[in-house]
Structure 1
């Protein structure tokens, strides 16, 4: 059995490698646009990606599949929205508004960070299949 995994995360997260886990064992740290071929005698393997505390859900793959690791656009949007709320709270001159925006933004940011622990990356089948 052969499975090809390609990291395609763009500029975000490009500084650090994305750790590729196969059956809960780290096998490779992928740079952007790097491919890794998993060869095994098993009928299927479980793959997940992780970078610092951000990660992906585990995906079970069958033989001769090709998958890509991408950044989840929903997580990215929520992360930037939370940062903007915190920023608005910080620059607002009204004390009450500042406190409300800051609290909402920090709470939202904590939620996004927890959500991103298993959802920052998406592993999906490549378009060329």
Structure 2
């Protein structure tokens, strides 16, 4: 199967690596892409693991997220810019657009996300306002 984050790559050679071993994620952008793919395939466990412990959604919120992710048709991911977030950095940001179809209408999540390292691996912190 093609990877949801990049149709030019196979899932097993792309986001599946992060989904199976979060410690193998080298950059903030790689984590963001793997989180997008997790939304597409409904891997809520990975979304929870890849969220900063201080900001992690509750179990109830996670169930609601899973229900929503399965109710929409994901179209594509577009990475707009990345600032820091490389292997030796401790923080980084990624701006992206995630397109999806909901109730017969195309919509987009446009977010400038903050990432940091926690317990030695990249995690999603929050969206910049």
The structure with higher relative contact order (CA 8 Å, sep 6+) is 1
Larger radius of gyration: 1
TM-score, normalised to structure 1, is 0.25
